[in-house]
Chain A
Amino acid sequence: MSLKGFHIVFITFSTLLAFGIGIWCLWVNSLGPSIPSYTVGAGISFAAAVALIIYGCWFWRKMKRLRLL
């Protein structure tokens, strides 16, 4: 596997982790009275996950355009 392929695998796992952190924040928040820092943490994590998806698509297209993929 090339660096480009491994990078896409890595970004996929990073995206899953970002979603996971967001879900963790919501889960911990649900265990007791709501605490704003968990909600903010979940929001940032989900936003990061979306940003990683957008980056992954951009990277894929760019590598194809540059004929590096």
Chain B
Amino acid sequence: MEIPYTVTARPDTGLWNAKVGIWLFLASEVMLFGGLFSAYIFLRLDAEPGYWPHGLLNVPVGTFNTAVLIFSSVTVVLAWASLKMRRYSRYRVYMAITILCGVIFLVVKLGYEWPQKYDHFGAYLKTSSLEKYERYLGNKHLLAEGLPPRVEITGHLHNEAALDDPKIKEYEVGLDVVYTDPTDPKMDRPHFFFVPPTEHVATIEKADVERATMFLPTHNNYFATYFTITGLHGLHVLGGVIVFTYLFFFGGITYRQNPEHLANRVEVAGLFWHFVDLVWIFVFPLFYLL
């Protein structure tokens, strides 16, 4: 028995099967990401002053990834339009570019941005110890400027064994630039480009620390939501790349049987890809800019 409306639209709805399916799926995805975005917003609104970090992510790299995704949305539409015009070789070129863009996004995210975080260390200080580390925190200056206080010292952890070894009583941290001269007005705002930790090493006693970890999801609510949302988004990008790769290599079989059928499949995959890119359009400003 042949399944109806896989290629042509059903007359009363004007839709073919897969289009109904993808929009139902995307509706569920809106609820999934909507819930996560809501969690982010409420966690951020309820965060104590100084406990929600700013300027930790690399804005130019994030902007580059955003541009890559926007460009891939253009190429996937052009791939679909090429099929509509029955230009199969051109379709393959655009599809290859789309796949390449997805891979570039994932490589930058998983091969550069995430590892940079795992390699970074942060120690939240006890309220009673803030005064002791004032020379790194510059809270008097921030108070005078009407800015939220700093309660955390971050940088490169030189003695990583200190994380697990209770016998080691202090952390040796190669400070991030903001803690080397905390009263410099340039440090009051996020850095546009990534600035690596300095050679200036501070010794932080464990007794003064409330909690200290590398920049992992367990570090704070910011990184918990960052890794959850960008990780889930990355999985969606990976899913899109897999589907596009299948359509790139095996689309010819469908094209020879019925070109319109392949165009429909590419349109459905393209709708999913656009949704994934649209999610990133919201993720980027929330985590990188605001």
Contacts from A to B (Cβ < 8 Å): 1-4, 6-7, 9-11, 13-14, 17, 20-21, 24-25, 28, 31-33, 35, 37-38, 41, 48, 52, 55, 59, 62-63, 66, 68
Contacts and interface: CB of A to CB of B under 8 A. Distances in A.
Given A7-B77, A17-B66, A48-B67, 7 more contacts: A3-B77, A10-B277, A14-B281, A20-B285, A31-B189, A35-B186, A63-B81
Interface stretch (B135-143, B221-229, B266-274): B266-274
B206 interface: no
A63 B274 CA distance: 17
B142 to A, nearest CB: 13
B84 A68 contact: yes
A68 B83 CA distance: 12
A20 B23 CA distance: 29
B190 to A, nearest CB: 6
B40 interface: no
A17 B189 CA distance: 21
A17 B186 contact: no
What range describes how many residues of B lie at the interface? 20 to 34
Given A17-B66, A24-B289, A66-B81, A10 B73 contact: yes
A2 B192 contact: no
B274 A10 contact: yes
A1 to B, nearest CB: 8
Contacts of B186: 32-33, 35
A38 B277 CA distance: 25
B253 interface: no
Contacts of A38: 192
Contacts of B185: 32-33
Nearest to B73: A10
Contact of B188 (A11, A32, A35): A32
A49 to B, nearest CB: 11
Contacts of B161: none
For the complex of A and B, list the 9 residue pairs with the smallest distance between their C-beta atoms, beginning with the closest: A31-B189, A32-B185, A3-B267, A37-B192, A3-B270, A24-B289, A7-B77, A6-B274, A14-B70
Given A3-B267, A14-B70, A21-B63, A32 B85 contact: no
Contact of B193 (A6, A10, A14, A37): A37
A62 B270 CA distance: 18
A31 B278 contact: no
Contacts of A14: 70, 281
Nearest to A32: B185
A33 B189 CA distance: 11
B284 interface: yes
B121 interface: no
